[in-house]
């Protein structure tokens, strides 16, 4: 009975690690529009069109999302679910985005909302 109890203790100890599996995109590095890449470099907001996409989340002028789930379709498109905070709000929301590389220009990534509406386009930041 002792080995079974030890196994149960080990499983309970590993549960937080398993639950916190990393939800990251297959994209490497930081991607953004011109304003987002500038923000990534110097930390200064220029205007409210800023979009910054990282493997673990996305940031805009008023929204910051951490990916909690990432699923990849057979064509490489990724569907992500993010836990998001919004400037001036005391609550969080759950948002779903579609992250897709352009089929003719692999340096361009499109971010769409769950409705399919285009939210923005980004390129890898220098």
Answer positive or negative: Cα dihedral of 12, 93, 117, 115: positive
pLDDT < 70 stretches in the chain: 1-22
Q: Summarize pLDDT for 81-113 with one digit per residue, the tens.
A: 999 999 989 999 999 999 999 999 989 999 999
- Structure tokens belonging to residue 90: 């005391």
Answer positive or negative: Cα dihedral of 107, 125, 36, 49: negative
E-assigned strands of 26-107? 31-32, 51-54, 57-60, 63-72, 78-86, 92-101
CA dihedral 22, 24, 26, 32 (to 10 degrees): -160
The predicted model scores a pTM of 0.79
């Amino acid at each position: 009975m002792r080995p079974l109890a030890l196994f149960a203790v080990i499983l309970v100890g590993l549960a937080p690690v398993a639950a916190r599996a990393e939800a990251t995109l297959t994209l490497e590095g930081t991607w953004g529009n011109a304003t987002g890449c500038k923000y990534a470099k110097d930390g200064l907001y220029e205007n409210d069109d800023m979009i910054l996409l990282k493997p673990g989340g996305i940031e805009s002028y008023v929204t910051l999302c951490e990916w909690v789930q990432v699923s990849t379709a057979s064509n490489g498109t990724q569907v992500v679910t993010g836990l998001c905070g919004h400037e001036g709000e005391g609550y969080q929301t759950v948002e779903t985005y579609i992250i897709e590389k352009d089929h003719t220009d692999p340096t361009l990534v499109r971010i769409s909302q769950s409705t399919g509406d285009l939210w923005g386009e980004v390129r890898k930041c220098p």
